[in-house]
Amino acid sequence: MNTPRHSRPKGTLDFVPPVADELRHLEYVAARLSTRFGFREIVTPVFEHTDVFTKSSGDASDIVTKEMYSFKDRGERDLTLRPEGTPGVVRAVLENRLRIPVRLYYFGPYFRFGRPQKGRFREFRQYGVEAIGEASPYVDAEIVLLGDEFFRTLGISDCTTELNSIGCRACRPGYRKELVAFLYAHKDELCEDCRERMDRNPLRVFDCKNEGCREVVADAPKTAGHLCDDCADHYDGVKRALDRMKVSYGINDRLVRGLDYYNRTVFEYISSRLGAQDSLGGGGRYDYLVEDLGGPPTPSSGFALGIDRTMMAMPEKPPLPEGTQPPRESLAYVVWMGEEELKHAVELAAKLRAEGVATRVDFDAARPKRQFRSADAAGAACCVIVGPDELAKGVYSLKDLATGEQEEVPVNMIVPRVRALFR
RNA sequence: GUGAGUGUAGCUCAAAGGCAGAGCACCUGACUGUGGCUCAGGAUGUUGGGGGUUCAAGUCCCCUCACUCACCCCA
């Protein structure tokens, strides 16, 4: 193969036409739905001071310990390409003293260092929402609903929602102690990784895919049975609200989120089309994070959805029936014959564009044949032909490239006639 | 960070130690004011890179790089 002079950095993606259009469409859907739920867009930097992430995501989490793109800038500042969205948003809310409660949505690129595989990249895109300063279980339910509607709007049908509650600072320590005791009793049956996880983050043993570990974990004490009264009430509230909103979900009492800051409600959207990385996104409640980042106690809830994964999970467009042409772009080509007509073509292009009609002229091809070919290659809907004959008669010839039909159009009628061919 | 698989034309893939090929795409012409369709012709490669074995390597061996999938982790 011709080795390209330059190649993408490992784990990055190019979005070339028309895939970039799909990406923008997806962001448009996200923005529209978020707005409908009262969220407003926030844009924060792609990099932050490193401690914004180390103080929020948890020192023990893998994201912080081995997946961050961290660097020192020329001023010796410790900076990190954001591995996730929530900490930067919370930082911005505090720094700009936004009035709380506030609902925010965002999308953009995120960065984590790991070996790429299907659905996992070093640069990836997320769509997220954060409801900062809202404590009600209804809020959690609304956020789950929003994500659910997002996937449904995009035609993703094989997406299931899993729900769990992991308790709070009051009830989790007791549960954790009980879980660790259980795991120690079954230490011999656990894999090496899980034996390490037992001490560092015992809840994550639930995530292990190892057969033996799964069997052990099946009998392990579950969070849901060890919630304090407040957490149990909250969990019931979320479930009742989801039922009333007609959101279908499954309880997964093994569901644990990777980030340390979650408490109470956690949820995840799973698709069967994605391979091993089957999570389209997830989220939950994070009632302590704002405080951890130096703000006042502020109960909050949100989600982060993987845009790249969502695009992978979207249904394939059905192939075109045999013999049919793909739809044409809403684009007009002005075809010219000689130098004299070229001047008119340039003016006509300006006029069409002023009327909002996307227009191109092939300046490089002197022969009309090539101009027509350019127009066809670009998928243009029509050609507007400027030749000596047309100029003499005060008309343009308009050729519909889909049907091949051509007719003369008075110059003052060209804009509506071109537009009529767009569909 | 760990493991496995795959690297041949722009794309999809043949060539199982003996002349590097096909389809699609591309270019030119038939058609000097008309795309697609048809016909005729044309170009395309350091077989990812480097080393080794051999009379001979796309093919076997070693190293390296890239991609893919999985572990890990998560979006």
Residue A2 confidence (pLDDT): 40
| Hits for CB < 7 Å against strand B across A residues 47-76 | 61-63, 67
| Hits for CB < 7 Å against strand B across A residues 390-419 | 390, 397, 399, 401-404, 406
Spanning CA of A308 to C1' of B75, the rounded length in angstroms is: 8
| Element containing residue A192 per DSSP (H, E) | helix A192-200
Nucleotides of B under 7 A from a protein CB: 1-3, 7-11, 26, 28, 31-36, 45-49, 66-75
CB A285: neighbour CB atoms within 10 A?
Answer: 29
Structural domain spans, chain A: 19-171+227-313, 329-420
Which residue's alpha carbon is at the shortest distance from the C1' of B8? A1
* Residue A112 near residue A308 (C-beta atoms within 8 A): no
| Element containing residue A357 per DSSP (H, E) | none
Class of domain A329-420: alpha beta
> pLDDT tens digits for A91-118?
999 999 999 999 999 999 999 998 999 9
The arrangement of secondary structure in A19-171+227-313, i.e. its CATH architecture, is 2-Layer Sandwich (3.30)
β-partners of residue A269 are A161, A281
Q: Taken in order A160, A60, A114, A188, is the CA torsion positive or negative?
A: negative
Nucleotide nearest to A124 (CA to C1'): B75
Nucleotide nearest to A67 (CA to C1'): B73
Asked whether residue A3's C-beta has any atom of DNA/RNA strand B within 7 A, the reply is yes
Asked whether residue A327's C-beta has any atom of DNA/RNA strand B within 7 A, the reply is no
> pLDDT tens digits for A54-101?
888 666 677 776 889 999 999 999 999 999 999 999 999 999 999 999
Q: What is the ipTM of this complex?
A: 0.87
> pLDDT tens digits for A151-162?
999 999 889 999
